[in-house]
């Protein structure tokens, strides 16, 4: 049975404004929002529109600069009086928050300790904590993994444990900021099923998402732009269907304007094996693949399938246990003609036992040549950011390649325009929304 939203108010924001820069610009610019107890609300909108900022205010993790904020019956912020620390403390006891990156939310290496962390901090009695752990793990279908190590689990499992940790605090409301952003389709479905079950139990849910199909079960979808709420309404089935079909690979349309790839491969991978140290089975198991110059290829697969490992191998950031890789004419790895029975040895984890010699890797000069051809945008590109401004960060790569200053400026300008972040050029890369940081880091790679 699904619990219905009640008339009680869980969140009431009036005239809320928030600035990261002493009022120079407003991340939230006059937001009025009411969420009823038991309601499931989705917040959508473009990068930098203020969704995460709003979610932190709703979760009691940040105070605004102006307006009033009432959460779970506590008037935590009042424009005239400012924040009320005691009210914040009381309100937070009833609020859980789950964010994008599952790894960042794990605090221990044993599932049940992780789930116990929140209730222990609330000072819940020991016996009661045991009961809560059992309940929460059952709710996310992870009972069997009670004693396991969450740090080596898939993203979907880790996210379910993070949610269990929140549920064990018996929150009246949970704020989710893109909880499925890092997950594959199956793991995403697991997490959405947990949200459905929270909804059925009458927990208030505020959920930020860029996936229209995740909004289907919401009571209300709120759209933000430039720090304001611009529309709200029921979820729309046609939006969700369009988004779901965009997630699937499509065969290319005939006769498009796309440049046709050459038949000559620019990337050639032959019989490559790779096993991480300490693991018994290979992540990359006899992989052969050709990619033609000009071709656009999407590598898809479940969490843990080896996509990132393959990308790192292509960039000479990992050394294969066997096989050859050539990229743009550079021999990234060259097999040393091991005997054919090495396949069996690789599969049985014999890597590094001395039976087989690892491929020869590219020399330093060859690697330098490789860097001129390959730009690598990592899974968390925002972690590559380091300079004082976005423009300086983007300029680092081309400058490092020895381009003259005029050309560096041209490359930077081009990359910023391409990603439509010219307006962020003088901002600190650390003072941006999650999506904006990602775009800035990608610009840095493209500018090279
Ligand atoms: N730590 C920060 N310091 C300064 N400005 C920030 C900071 N975090 C975000 N901003 C700015 O505040 C505005 C709203 O950012 P917010 O993170 O709330 O957006 P968002 O809607 O969550 O975006 P995304 O979809 O990219 O996650 C943006 O203009 C952003 O550049
Ligand atoms: Mg955000």
What are the pLDDT digits (tens) for 146-156? 999 998 888 88
11 beta partners: 35, 71
Mean pLDDT of 309-318: 91
- What distance in Å separates the CA atoms of residue 169 and residue 95, rounded to the nearest whole number? 8
Six-digit token string for 80: 């005239």
C-alpha distances out from residue 31 to 13, 14, 51, 72, Å: 7, 6, 11, 18
- Quote the mean pLDDT of the chain: 88
Ligand nearest to the CA of 49: 1
Number of other CB atoms surrounding residue 363 within 10 Å: 11
Compute the distance from residue 252 Cα to the ligand 2 centre, in Å.
32
- What distance in Å separates the CA atoms of residue 212 and residue 401, rounded to the nearest whole number? 41
Least confident range from 5-19, 261-275, 407-421: namely: 261-275
Q: Among 355, 360, 311, which Cα is nearest to 334's? A: 360
Compute the distance from residue 186 Cα to the ligand 2 centre, in Å.
23
The contacts of residue 184 (CB under 8 Å, 6+ apart) are 155, 156, 301, 302, 303
Ligand 1 pocket test: pick from 53, 206, 208, 437 the residue with the most ligand atoms within 8 Å of its Cβ. 53
Is residue 389 lining ligand 1, measured as CB closer than 6 Å?
no
Segment 135-139 long-range contacts (CB within 8 Å, at least 24 positions apart): 135/167, 135/168, 136/164, 136/165, 136/167, 136/168, 137/111, 137/112, 137/164, 139/164, 139/167, 139/194, 139/197
Give the number of C-alpha atoms closer than 13 A to the C-alpha of residue 80, restricted to the C-beta side: 0
pLDDT tens per residue, range 211-248: 999 999 999 999 999 999 999 999 988 776 666 666 56
Tell me the CATH architecture of domain 9-246: 3-Layer(aba) Sandwich (3.40)
Q: Which residue has the least CA distance to atom 14 on ligand 1?
A: 50
Is residue 414 lining ligand 1, measured as CB closer than 6 Å?
no
Six-digit token string for 132: 């809560």
What is the separation of C-alpha 433 from the centre of its chain, rounded to a whole number of angstroms?
A: 13
Q: Among 86, 61, 56, which Cα is nearest to 74's? A: 86
Compute the distance from residue 178 Cα to the ligand 2 centre, in Å.
7
- Ligand 1 atom at minimum distance from 45 CA: 21
The H or E element spanning position 389 is none
Ligand nearest to the CA of 433: 1
- Domain borders along the chain are 9-246, 265-373, 381-446
Is residue 20 lining ligand 1, measured as CB closer than 6 Å?
yes
Q: Find tokens 């924040």 and name the residue.
A: 83
Compute the distance from residue 49 Cα to the ligand 2 centre, in Å.
8
pLDDT tens per residue, range 30-76: 999 999 999 999 999 999 999 999 999 999 999 999 999 999 999 99
386 beta partners: none
pLDDT band at 141 (very low <50, low <70, confident <90, very high): confident
Ligand nearest to the CA of 58: 1
pLDDT tens per residue, range 180-196: 887 888 878 888 998 99
Ligand nearest to the CA of 43: 1
Is residue 436 lining ligand 1, measured as CB closer than 6 Å?
yes
Six-digit token string for 375: 């730009």
Is residue 435 lining ligand 1, measured as CB closer than 6 Å?
yes
Q: Which residue has the least CA distance to atom 3 on ligand 1?
A: 431
Q: In this structure, is the dihedral angle defined by the CA atoms of residues 93, 98, 101 and 106, taken in order, positive or negative?
A: positive
How high is the pLDDT of residue 255?
A: 47
The domains spanning 9-246 and 265-373 adopt the same CATH topology: yes
Six-digit token string for 260: 């046709």
Number of other CB atoms surrounding residue 402 within 10 Å: 8
pLDDT band at 99 (very low <50, low <70, confident <90, very high): confident
How high is the pLDDT of residue 82?
A: 94
- What distance in Å separates the CA atoms of residue 136 and residue 159, rounded to the nearest whole number? 13
- What distance in Å separates the CA atoms of residue 371 and residue 448, rounded to the nearest whole number? 9
- Ligand 1 atom at minimum distance from 208 CA: 22
Identify the three-state secondary structure at position 207: strand
Contact 16, 67 (CB under 8 A): yes
What is the separation of C-alpha 437 from the centre of its chain, rounded to a whole number of angstroms?
A: 12
Segment 405-408 long-range contacts (CB within 8 Å, at least 24 positions apart): none
What is the separation of C-alpha 73 from the centre of its chain, rounded to a whole number of angstroms?
A: 32
Contact 172, 72 (CB under 8 A): yes
pLDDT band at 408 (very low <50, low <70, confident <90, very high): very high
Spell out the CATH class of 265-373: alpha beta
Q: Among 59, 10, 58, which Cα is nearest to 38's? A: 10
399 beta partners: none
Contact 376, 441 (CB under 8 A): no
Ligand 1 pocket test: pick from 27, 58, 208, 228 the residue with the most ligand atoms within 8 Å of its Cβ. 27
C-alpha distances out from residue 371 to 76, 349, 374, 445, Å: 52, 31, 5, 11
Rg from Cα positions in the chain: 25
Q: Are β-strands 204-208 and 40-44 bridged in parallel, bridged antiparallel, or unpaired? A: parallel
Six-digit token string for 10: 């869980």
pLDDT tens per residue, range 363-402: 888 888 888 788 888 777 788 898 999 999 999 989 988 8
Q: Find tokens 């490359």 and name the residue.
A: 411
- What distance in Å separates the CA atoms of residue 168 and residue 135, rounded to the nearest whole number? 8
Is residue 51 lining ligand 1, measured as CB closer than 6 Å?
yes
């Amino acid at each position: 049975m699904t619990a219905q939203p009640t008339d009680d108010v869980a969140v009431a924001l009036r005239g809320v404004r928030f600035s990261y820069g002493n009022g120079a610009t407003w991340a939230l610019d006059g937001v009025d929002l009411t969420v009823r107890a038991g309601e499931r609300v989705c917040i959508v909108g473009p990068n930098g529109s203020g969704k995460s900022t709003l979610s932190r205010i709703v979760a009691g993790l940040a105070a605004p600069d102006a307006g009033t904020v009432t959460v779970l019956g506590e008037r935590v912020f009042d424009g005239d009086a400012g924040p009320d620390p005691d009210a914040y403390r009381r309100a937070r006891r009833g609020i859980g928050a789950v964010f994008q990156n599952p790894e960042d939310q794990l605090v221990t290496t044993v599932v049940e300790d992780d789930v116990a962390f929140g209730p222990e901090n609330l000072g819940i009695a020991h016996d009661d904590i045991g009961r809560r752990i059992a309940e929460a793990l059952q709710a996310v279908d992870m009972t069997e993994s009670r004693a396991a190590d969450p740090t080596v689990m898939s993203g979907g499992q880790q996210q379910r444990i993070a949610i269990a940790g929140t549920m064990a605090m018996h929150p009246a409301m949970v704020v989710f900021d893109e909880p499925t952003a890092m997950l594959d389709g199956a793991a995403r479905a697991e997490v959405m099923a947990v949200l459905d079950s929270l909804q059925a139990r009458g927990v208030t849910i505020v959920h930020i998402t860029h996936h229209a199909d995740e909004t289907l079960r919401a009571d209300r979808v709120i759209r933000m732009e430039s720090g304001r709420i611009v529309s709200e309404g029921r979820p729309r089935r046609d939006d969700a269907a369009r988004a779901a079909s965009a997630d699937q690979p499509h065969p290319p349309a005939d006769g498009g304007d796309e440049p046709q790839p050459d038949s000559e491969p620019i990337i050639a991978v032959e019989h490559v094996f790779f096993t991480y140290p300490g693991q018994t089975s290979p992540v990359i198991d006899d992989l052969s693949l050709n990619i033609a110059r000009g071709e656009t290829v999407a590598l898809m697969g479940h969490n843990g399938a080896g996509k990132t490992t393959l990308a790192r191998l292509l960039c000479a950031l990992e050394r294969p246990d066997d096989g050859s890789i050539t990229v743009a004419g550079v021999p990234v790895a060259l097999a040393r003609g091991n005997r054919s029975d090495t396949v069996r040895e690789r599969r049985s984890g014999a890597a590094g036992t001395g039976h087989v010699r690892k491929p020869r890797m590219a020399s330093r000069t060859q690697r330098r040549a490789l860097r001129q051809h390959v730009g690598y945008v990592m899974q968390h590109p925002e972690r590559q950011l380091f300079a004082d401004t976005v423009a300086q960060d983007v300029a680092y790569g081309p400058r490092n390649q020895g381009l003259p200053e005029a050309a560096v400026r041209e490359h930077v300008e081009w990359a910023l325009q391409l990603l439509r972040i010219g307006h962020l050029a003088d901002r600190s890369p650390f003072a941006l929304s999650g999506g904006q940081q990602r775009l800035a880091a990608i610009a840095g790679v493209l500018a090279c």
